[in-house]
A = this chain, B = another copy of it.
């Protein structure tokens, strides 16, 4: 880290900062400038309160971290890309993985029909929500365990791994009995208790980006899961909150490019929640593939106009099928199969 002293800092203040740095186990290097001094402190600076205790000292203007705060998620620790296997499916490898299904599991017919349809059109993994974190307490909250059973059944019938969102540490064991992949939703992306708990399971985890989360914070949330021993984390970009209201969120596709520099973890994209409108989903799915995503998560519903949740952003079977065809073409240029 680098400690910048104020121009008016005294020699005593500088000396106290140097002593403090040594006391904290770092090696200080002072650079005496014309208007102010700067101290380089060599050592592993992770553990933020150490930094902060320097910031409060007299004569200190600012403390600038140099190392990235994440370790296990970083490419410095693991250079080769992580490939995460679920059944026959590998996420992070050569193949573009498509996860499809309804926002909420509504009944047996709906989820089984969707499973069969999306499988036949090229999807690899079935998604469906059993616990729905809805903004309003007065809207449909999901079928709970009944939904998990239907999801498992549909996955078996269509021969696909299944993924569902988990919203409560107390549900984790139950959900693990039924599904192959756990999902952490955007609203729980800094629910650290939940992150730790899923980090203690052996299920792959799809970690959605928080609505106002920087990429750095996102990787720190991944670090919570990784540091509990679960190394199977898949990052999912789903749009961030900005001032623009023409779309539900603003899909940040440059996050794919940044993450490829920063982490070995696979990255997928959810254009359905990002845009909020079915008509914009294919365009953004194509763009995500061209940008280099490892996979896509798409909301598909047999009859979007009758969906209990998020109908406007769900594709019907027909649109989904057409989109997948074109996705494959883009994928081949992007060197995915």
Chain A positions near chain B (C-beta within 8 angstroms): 2, 4, 7, 29, 31-35, 38, 40, 42-43, 46-49, 52-53, 55-57, 64, 66-67, 69, 71, 76, 133-140, 167-170, 187-188, 190-194, 196, 210-212, 214-217, 220, 223-224, 227, 240-247, 250-258, 261, 274-275, 278-280, 283-284, 286-292, 304-312, 326, 329-330, 333-334
Contact of A290 among B35, B191, B287 (CB under 8 A): B287
Q: Are A57 and B136 in contact (CB under 8 A)?
A: no
With both chains docked as a complex, state the minimum distance between the C-beta of A216 and any C-beta of chain B, in angstroms.
7
Do A247 and B243 form a contact, CB below 8 Å, given A53-B306, A187-B190, A292-B283?
no
Q: Are A214 and B169 in contact (CB under 8 A)?
A: no
Smallest Cβ-Cβ distance to A33: which chain B residue: B42
Most chain B CB within 10 A, of A40, A292, A329, is at A40
A328 to chain B, nearest CB (A): 10
Judged by DSSP, the binding face of A is: mixed
Please determine whether B283 and A257 come into contact, CB atoms closer than 8 angstroms: yes
Contact A223 B137 (CB under 8 A): yes
Which one of B33, B67, B278, B291 lies within 8 Å of A287 (CB-CB)? B291
- The answer to whether A167 and B192 touch across the interface, beta carbons within 8 angstroms, is yes
Are A280 and B254 closer than 8 Å at their CB atoms? yes
Q: Check B135 against A220 for contact (C-beta < 8 Å).
A: yes
The one of B194, B254, B275 in contact with A251, judged by C-beta atoms closer than 8 angstroms, is B254
Contact of A333 among B33, B311, B326 (CB under 8 A): B326
Expressed in whole angstroms, the Cα–Cα distance for A67 and B244 within the complex equals 18
Which residues does chain B contribute within 8 Å of A67, judged by CB atoms? Answer: 35
Q: Bound complex: CA of A308 vs CA of B48, how far in Å?
A: 9
Chain B hits for A211, CB < 8 A? 212
Q: Kindly state the separation between the CA atoms of A75 and B292 in the bound complex, as whole angstroms.
A: 33
Q: Which residues of B contact A33 (CB under 8 A)?
A: 42-43
Which 10 A-B pairs give the minimum distances between C-beta atoms?
Answer: A212-B212, A290-B290, A187-B190, A287-B291, A286-B290, A168-B193, A31-B40, A287-B287, A56-B305, A257-B280
A–B Cβ pairs within 8 angstroms, 25 of them: A2-B66, A40-B40, A46-B138, A55-B311, A57-B305, A64-B64, A69-B135, A137-B227, A138-B223, A169-B169, A188-B191, A191-B191, A212-B243, A216-B246, A240-B250, A244-B252, A247-B254, A251-B252, A254-B274, A254-B280, A257-B279, A257-B284, A258-B280, A286-B334, A330-B330
